[in-house]
């Protein structure tokens, strides 16, 4: 089907605040189905024209759009009454068969659907430099897939396979310790650098919110790169931006005088170092369960925060972490300079270590007194 149109007429009215019996709606368009491995996504090209000089009821329009999606195109909607979902009132509509318009042309139908997808692609930065004809060629190479939360789309160290573009949802880019390096959303691209370099995937990509992505297989992606220099330039700029961001982070770490990974220096050693050297400043930690912060003034601990916890309990929780990143900022605000000391540092440290030991050996008996 290239195009189809059907006129709906209201035949029943139960106190509808917008329309009257006999009012008519025109519905035209198709619902394009993209499918891959049992996953389905519909792209609707519905055009609905409500009665002239009448209010627009979004409830009824949504119902007609849903019917179009369920049946594929307007001309395939079966005869029979269709009730609206209703608000303060409701109506029933039926398609008027005498006003159905159908143009039979399967070749033109596919062409129209390709145009719809090409139009969608033109909204993404990576494809904005291409004209509609070039986009139509790329459409044939695309695959679509949906991923539920917690799914690993890419795993660090795995061989590169596809270029991914996010249509909806959110994914996190994680390092080998599970710490989030960045969050990607609609229109963002990932997986391209491994395809270009031929190296294994450099970071794990994990779904945070239900994500729908389109992807191009590696061999097809390389052909696209060879054909379209503008995409090469886009990816070169993207790589430069990512490297600049990475270098900025490294520069900040060097300037701070202390930065690294907890796998190299655990929280207990970090805290002891700051205490013994009577440091003043904030120790920011990026942990798998969320951000954390320890504030020292002259070596004394004056504030501890880990997610929703504050004070000593937050400090004890931080001591138990073994993976993540840390960075020390040797400055405090005026307000932080006035904070009271949480307690004797060594006593708090020993209490935290004791809790860690109990957590690691929960079933061990305390022992019996010798005397």
The conformation of residue 126, written as its DSSP 8-state character, comes to: G
Report the C-alpha gap between 155 and 204 in whole angstroms.
Answer: 4
In the predicted structure, residue 361 carries a pLDDT above the cut 80: no
pLDDT of 367 reads 39
pLDDT of 153 reads 93
> What is the phi/psi pair of residue 43, to 5°?
-115, 110
Q: How many CB atoms lie within 10 A of CB 254?
A: 10
pLDDT of 27 reads 81
Instruction: Give the mean model confidence (pLDDT) for residues 112-124.
Output: 72
Contact 361, 299 (CB under 8 A): no
pLDDT of 140 reads 79
- Pairwise pLDDT comparison (54 vs 100), residue with the higher score: 54
Above pLDDT 90, what percent of the chain? 15
Above pLDDT 70, what percent of the chain? 78
104 falls in which pLDDT band (50, 70, 90)? very low
In the predicted structure, residue 35 carries a pLDDT above the cut 50: no
pLDDT of 105 reads 45
pLDDT of 366 reads 41
Nearest in space to 192 (alpha carbons), one of 168, 228, 222 = 222
Per-residue pLDDT tens digits for 172-229: 998 877 888 889 998 888 888 777 656 688 889 999 999 988 888 888 887 888 788 8
Contact 187, 213 (CB under 8 A): no
SS3 363: coil
- Pairwise pLDDT comparison (248 vs 346), residue with the higher score: 346
In the predicted structure, residue 10 carries a pLDDT above the cut 50: yes
Report the C-alpha gap between 14 and 343 in whole angstroms.
Answer: 71
In the predicted structure, residue 309 carries a pLDDT above the cut 60: yes
In the predicted structure, residue 100 carries a pLDDT above the cut 50: no
In the predicted structure, residue 371 carries a pLDDT above the cut 60: no
Report the C-alpha gap between 353 and 232 in whole angstroms.
Answer: 53
User: Which contiguous run of DSSP H or E holds residue 47?
Assistant: strand 47-49
pLDDT of 106 reads 44
Length of the chain: 371
End-to-end CA distance of the chain: 93
Mean per-residue pLDDT of the chain = 78
Report the C-alpha gap between 131 and 9 in whole angstroms.
Answer: 41
Nearest in space to 318 (alpha carbons), one of 271, 256, 282 = 271
Instruction: Give the mean model confidence (pLDDT) for residues 148-152.
Output: 93
User: Across the beta sheet with 309-310, what order do the strands follow?
Assistant: 259-261, 324-329, 281-287, 290-297, 300-306, 309-310
Nearest in space to 204 (alpha carbons), one of 164, 156, 248, 241 = 156
Give the strand pairing for 290-297 and 162-174: unpaired
Contact 214, 143 (CB under 8 A): yes
The conformation of residue 368, written as its DSSP 8-state character, comes to: -
- Domains in the chain and their CATH numbers? 3-103 (no CATH), 110-252 (2.60.120.10), 259-360 (no CATH)
Least reliable range by pLDDT among 86-90, 118-122, 329-333: 118-122
pLDDT of 171 reads 94
In the predicted structure, residue 45 carries a pLDDT above the cut 70: no
In the predicted structure, residue 341 carries a pLDDT above the cut 90: yes
User: Which contiguous run of DSSP H or E holds residue 290?
Assistant: strand 290-297
Nearest in space to 77 (alpha carbons), one of 103, 95, 104 = 95
| Burial of residue 150 (number of CB atoms within 10 Å: 0-12, 13-18, 19+) | exposed
Query: What is the four-CA torsion angle of 55, 61, 62, 68, rounded to 10 degrees?
Result: 180
Q: Which span out of 59-68, 88-97, 152-161, 347-356 was modeled with the highest average pLDDT?
A: 152-161
247 falls in which pLDDT band (50, 70, 90)? low
């Amino acid at each position: 089907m290239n195009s189809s149109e059907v006129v709906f007429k209201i035949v029943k009215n139960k106190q509808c605040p917008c329309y009257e019996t006999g009012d008519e709606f025109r519905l035209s368009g198709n619902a394009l189905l993209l499918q891959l491995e049992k996953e389905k996504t519909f792209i609707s090209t519905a055009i609905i024209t409500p009665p002239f000089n009448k209010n627009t009821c979004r409830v009824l329009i949504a119902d007609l759009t849903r019917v179009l999606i369920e049946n594929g195109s307007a001309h395939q909607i079966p005869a029979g009454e269709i009730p609206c979902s209703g608000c303060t009132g409701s109506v029933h509509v039926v398609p008027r068969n005498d006003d159905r318009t159908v143009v039979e042309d399967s070749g033109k139908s596919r062409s129209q659907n390709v145009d719809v997808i090409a139009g969608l692609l033109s909204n993404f930065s990576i494809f904005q430099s291409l004209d509609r004809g070039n986009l139509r060629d790329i459409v044939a190479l695309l695959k679509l897939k949906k991923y539920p939360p917690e799914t690993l789309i890419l795993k660090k160290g795995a061989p590169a396979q596809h270029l991914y573009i996010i249509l909806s949802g959110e994914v996190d880019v994680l390092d080998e310790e599970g710490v989030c390096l960045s969050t990607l959303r609609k229109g963002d691209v990932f997986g391209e650098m491994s395809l270009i370099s031929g190296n294994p995937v450099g970071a794990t990509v994990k779904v945070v919110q239900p994500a729908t992505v389109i992807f191009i297989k590696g061999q097809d992606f390389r052909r696209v790169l060879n054909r379209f220099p503008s995409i090469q330039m886009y990816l070169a700029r993207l790589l430069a931006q990512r490297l600049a961001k990475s270098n900025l982070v490294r520069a900040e770490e060097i300037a701070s005088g202390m930065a690294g990974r907890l796998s190299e220096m655990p929280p207990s050693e970090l805290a002891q170092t700051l205490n013994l050297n009577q440091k003043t400043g904030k120790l920011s930690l990026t942990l798998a369960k969320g951000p954390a912060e320890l504030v020292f003034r002259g070596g004394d601990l004056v504030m501890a925060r880990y997610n929703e916890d504050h004070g000593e309990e937050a400090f004890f929780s931080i001591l138990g972490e073994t993976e993540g990143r840390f960075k020390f900022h040797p400055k405090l605000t005026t307000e932080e300079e006035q904070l009271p000391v949480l307690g004797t540092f060594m006593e708090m440290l020993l209490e935290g270590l004791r809790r860690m030991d109990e957590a690691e050996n929960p079933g061990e008996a305390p022992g019996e007194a010798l005397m």
